[in-house]
A = this chain, B = another copy of it.
Amino acid sequence: MNVQFKKGVIELLVLSLLNRKDRYGYELVEAISQSIEIAEGTIYPLLKRMTDEGYFKTYLQESAEGPPRKYYQMTTKGRTYFDELRKEWREFSKSVEKILGE
């Protein structure tokens, strides 16, 4: 898997997954890992940054399977940003396909 392809796209995927429901960091790693190789060292700093930027809020919840989970909940700002970024992604990938198919 080409590492460079991922730059910026991971952010989009996290937004997409959190758009549907609250999730905790480790869960996001597992969800994304099913399609795209991803490391924890990528996700945790990303979640921290995006929370600082106001896209998510967090809350803790006890778990029977280990330490407490930190859930991330999308804000209105996050939803707006997600819509924008998804649109940009689709335009971008369409442009790539255009050049590939020429």
Contact = CB atoms under 8 A, between A and B. Distances in A.
B4 A8 contact: yes
Interface stretch (A48-56, A57-65, A70-78, A90-98): A90-98
Interface of A is mostly: helix
Contacts of A1: 88, 92
Interface of A: 1-9, 11-13, 16-17, 20, 31-32, 35-36, 85-86, 88-89, 92-93, 95-96, 98-100, 102
A100 B4 contact: no
Copies in the complex: 2
Contact of A7 (B7, B85, B98, B100): B7
A92 B20 contact: no
